[in-house]
Structure 1
Amino acid sequence: MSHWRHKVWRHLSSFHGASYSTRPSRINKTMLNDLRRIRPMIQRRIENRAKDYPIQEIVPVAKDILKARQNLLTNVTVLLKAFPVLRCKFCSEVFVGKEGHLIQTCRSYIRRGNNRLHEWVPGSINDVLVPVESFHLHNMSQGVIRHQQRFDYDRVPAILELCCQAGAIHPEEILEYAKVHDNPQISDEDIRSIPTEDLKYVGANALTAWEKVRAGLKKLLLVYPSKVCKRCKEVHVGPSGHKARLCGVFKYESYQGTHYWEKAGVNDLIPEKVVWHRRPQDPLVLVNEGRNYYGHAPAVVSLCSHAGALVSNTRYACEMKPQGLSYPLSN
């Protein structure tokens, strides 16, 4: 400690009638000694906690999630062949339809504007089902992943990692499982062979699988801990977050780039990509003046609705406004 800091502390201590000393107090020494004694007990408790997992009663729930997720990916891939999905070239906006809307909501920093028209390009399945990845842990009792160890662990979908810790997938088979099931191969000939009337059932199956995945994740998160960064939405499936300095949000970016971990929810593992939803009573192209009339829906639900699936009985009907008024503009 520099000489001027000694003077400042002595000056402040004179007002409070306390003596200034640079040596650690006896209370701090006692606390350090107590922490050193109980540290082996804490480590032993963490190692014994992993013996209680996986919980056998929750294994069927994780297996049902994997089946529903596989059906969801297959049905959404089929629907994307029949119904176009567009995404903005400069921001994360997505729209289900042949022509993009004219609502001025593009806020990309590249274009240096807050309210601009979107520039639409063809989208993919990653725009409808947003991929969320996390580190694959060897076991739940391992140590915290350090920054210099971030390349020693594989990145897998967060849903698969959660189901792996729940006992539905073997830890050594999760990478092969992700390669086989995450990219369903469906040719254009298979799509042409499906009658137009049957696309309605494909959309209904996709909507049912979407609800099953979310309901199953809600149950698993009550048993298996998961963390999400409050700033950059990084997800970590495990009892404690990792130490990899990957947080790069400009507003909160610090020198070390550490994450601010909190409890993760269903929307953190499988985000609801909310988009503008065009109803039958709306004009062919949504304009900016009627943005107060239009509805919203997750991209998956909007895609299933365009296929003919009934969404009036779901919890998304309030946001979609199926019976609401439309902007008075002729088609």
Structure 2
Amino acid sequence: MDLLSCGKVTVFPQPKAGTSIFTRNSRLNLHSGLSSLHSLKLSSGKYKLQLKSRVPSKKLQHPYALAARQDYPQNADLPRQYSKREKKPFPIPIVELRRAARARAKNRSGQPRRPVPPPKRGLLVKNLIPVAYDVLNARITLINNLKKLWKVVPVHACVFCNEIHVGPVGHRFKSCKGPDSAFRKGLHEWTNAALEDILLQVEAYHLFDRLGKRIRHDERFSIPRIPAVTELCIQAGVEIPEFPTKRRRKPIIRIGRKEFIDADESDLPEPDPPVPLKPILTEIPDSEIVAPSNEEETVLLAEETLQVWEKMRGGARRLMMMYPVRVCGYCPEVHVGPSGHKAQNCGAFKHQQRNGQHGWQAAVLDDLIPPRYVWHVPDVNGPPLRREFKSFYGQAPAVVEICVQAGAAVPEQYKPTMRLDVGIPTSIREAEMVV
């Protein structure tokens, strides 16, 4: 295998004494250079090849080492699926958080206090307001594009469980865990999927004042619930008349750890009525959806869908770094705000011991926008997936798989889990010979 063709080739300066190097004019013996396992080192997606030089270079005074870089590993496992009896781990372990807090306290001694971020003072981050509008419009564009691609790329959903499959024919894997799966021997019963099966609707309570009192249990039905991404964009500065929110023009005044009062804004001029910074797109009704007319239009639509998918996820990641989002460690409940609500509606494992209260912790991007992983079909026009070759197939988010089957190029960050470099056996005997 040509190692130089698997990634970027980078020239590094002269290494330390005792390492093997070679020069530009050296004659290389690949068999002798690769005789040791230490010649090929794999660490964090980087392949480094070190070979010995027999003839010193006359043109270069400093020899250089040649390394083959690869930004993403060839194959990678999917994120771990935690059972319903397991609590999700913290994004950052508690030990690391305490160690970082002690280090900050040690370095802060004798130093002036850092300014409090604007969201904790009740203000907006002005440079993130356009990002919030872009995320909201990207979400609406993604929904409209998926409705169009849905008419070209078939998507199947199991009647008994929550698994979906993208492709002309549903797979025959015995992985169904729904009701009466033992009588069906774990086989799925496929039907047409809906948009909610592809994009999981994660909802959250809409807060009129994100710094106000926490939602009580008896208020859980009087407060509207909207998509969590939309609520994050509203708190970041998006103006939607249907969901008003309180905007402060002066920072709050803290009178205690959890108590504050609003600053006097009587000396300020009357605020102008809120006007959207950018026009907000609207979802196209299902009756007005028109499928792409030709293959070229389908490919362009798939490429645009991938772009808005990455734009929505990238923008939401930036917003979450400034506006906190909470998730329950036992169930998928998400709350956008500095602290979770008090509604006792958690029905996860051992919720009786917690009186139905949620175990709030910091959320990650996959909690806010869950990627629905599906099996990757190597050849849409080829034979369907076989259960005997299940270990050779890869997976990708449903949005990415739909766009790839529609003709879009595979993004680099999803290639490791899709296992594009793994050869599919042609027979069961050939598969059994793989070590």
TM-score (norm 1): 0.77
Paired residues of 1:160 and 1:174 also in contact (CA < 8 A): no
Q: Match for residue 303 of structure 1?
A: 402
How many residue pairs end up in the alignment? Answer: 278
Q: Deviations over 1:130-174 (max 9, x none)?
A: 110000001112111111110110000000000000011246447
Distance 1:237 1:303, change over 3 A: same
Runs of 5+ unmatched residues, structure 2: 1-115, 246-275, 429-435
Given the alignment, which residue of 323, 332, 351 partners 1:253? 351
Distance 1:110 1:257, change over 3 A: farther
Q: For residues 281 and 64 of structure 1, what CA distance do their matches in structure 2 show?
A: 33
Amino acid at match of 2:290: D
Paired residues of 1:164 and 1:171 also in contact (CA < 8 A): no
Q: How far is the alpha carbon of 1:221 from its aligned partner?
A: 0.5
Distance 1:185 1:200, change over 3 A: same
Q: For residues 210 and 236 of structure 2, what CA distance do their matches in structure 1 show?
A: 11
More helix by share: 1
Q: Match for residue 148 of structure 1?
A: 218
Given the alignment, which residue of 319, 323, 326 partners 1:220? 319
- Secondary structure of 2:391's match? coil
Q: How far is the alpha carbon of 1:98 from its aligned partner?
A: 2.0
2:261 pairs with 1:162: no
2:200 pairs with 1:102: no
The two structures, once aligned, show a CA RMSD in angstroms of: 2.7
Given the alignment, which residue of 73, 80, 85 partners 2:143? 73
Q: For residues 162 and 114 of structure 1, what CA distance do their matches in structure 2 show?
A: 42
Runs of 5+ unmatched residues, structure 1: 1-45
Q: Match for residue 130 of structure 1?
A: 200
Q: For residues 142 and 380 of structure 2, what CA distance do their matches in structure 1 show?
A: 29
2:293 pairs with 1:293: no
Q: Deviations over 1:270-299 (max 9, x none)?
A: 100001111128952212111011110000
TM-score (norm 2): 0.59
Paired residues of 1:107 and 1:113 also in contact (CA < 8 A): no
Q: Match for residue 88 of structure 1?
A: 158
Q: For residues 282 and 107 of structure 1, what CA distance do their matches in structure 2 show?
A: 29
Q: For residues 68 and 235 of structure 1, what CA distance do their matches in structure 2 show?
A: 21
Which residues of 2 match residues 23-102 of structure 1 at below 5 A?
51-102=121-172
Q: How far is the alpha carbon of 1:113 from its aligned partner?
A: 7.7
Q: Match for residue 273 of structure 1?
A: 372
Q: Match for residue 305 of structure 2?
A: 206
Q: Deviations over 1:165-215 (max 9, x none)?
A: 00112464479x9xx9674225478326x2222101101100110001110
Q: Match for residue 319 of structure 1?
A: 417
Paired residues of 2:122 and 2:211 also in contact (CA < 8 A): no
Mean Cα deviation higher: 300-309 or 109-118: 109-118
- Secondary structure of 2:151's match? helix
Amino acid at match of 1:184: I
2:337 pairs with 1:238: yes
Q: What is the aligned-residue identity percentage?
A: 37
